[in-house]
A and B are shown apart, each in its own frame.
Chain A
Amino acid sequence: MTQALPHDLGPAAAEPIRAERGESLLRRRLSAYFDTPLAFVGAGLLVLLLVVAIAAPWIAPQNPYDLAQLDIMDGRLAPGEKAAAGFTYYLGTDEQGRDMLSAILYGLRISLFVGVVSTLFACTIGASIGVAAAYAGGKVESFVMRVVDLQLSFPAILIALVLLAVWGRGIDKVIIALVIVQWAYYARTVRGSALVERGREYIEAARCLALPRSRIVFRHLLPNCLPPLIVVATVQVAHAIALEATLSFLGVGVPVTEPSLGLLIKNGYDYLLSGKYWISTYPGVALVIAIVAINLVGDRLRDVLNPRLSR
């Protein structure tokens, strides 16, 4: 599918700007992005989280899923306490003596993976359906948009909960459920901009050249609908991560063998009332940092990619 980069906005959008400024649109957008300090912080945090999530197996103090490395005698140690073997648990341990810092790094990996992958699929599927519906018009369009309206009138959490209650736990199942509840946002967003774009002259020109319909839709129409889509997709990654955490907290999300941040929080829930706060709190802090960072980036992208502001 056309997962074009932001600078690939199609010939109609990119050429005139390049001609008058003499530098690429991507560079212009990038320098505009880093104009505000908050956007810089957001991007920095996000890169940091991605790096530690990807590098978790190499930088985590222990492998939290290797039972040979766990010592049940170290169970429920408070942050900063020393292990029997001598090293310090900076964020404490859970009931099985698992180092929370390591568990969080591994959990972050799973949470980000689920959020990003489900968003990529939902975005691709939803955008294709939305742009095709907008180009087709008529009965096809009104049918697709009825389905979108109907689905969006039900809360995402409820639909995902039902699907997972039926399918059972699993990372693949969570991803599919998140795709099903999210595609409609993208379909609606893309249709909105495609309705404007389909009346433009370059589409008419493409039609006059008798290009095949699929080519017009995916090579001409879709790339020009991308900027709002990128903004929605960025913020939706944060929503997907929060939704996955909620589902895992409710016990219908990821399996216990591959705990995401949400499942770590659920595990700590049982110990919260006895004052062992760290098992729930720190995974939650990691979750909050990830969500805030993504929102900061998305917020700035909204300003940068808004054509009314950038031209």
Chain B
Amino acid sequence: MNIILNGEPHEVPEQTTLSQLLTQLQFDPSRVAIEHNLEVAPREGYHSVVLAEGDQIEIVHFIGGGSLF
């Protein structure tokens, strides 16, 4: 099944949850935030949110930035 991950097509097994996605990608859940189809996905719900075909996922973190790009 395909989802859109950070703007790119990405293949995941059927019934993948957000926590499984993070594990597959090797990201520490405490250091990122996830947007699921334009809505913030609360951290405590990662294990119960199941991805569907075509879902749009953004995984973000903090980077250096000031009053510029």
Do these two chains interact? Answer: no
Q: Which residues of A contact B (CB under 8 A)?
A: none
Q: Which residues of B contact A (CB under 8 A)?
A: none
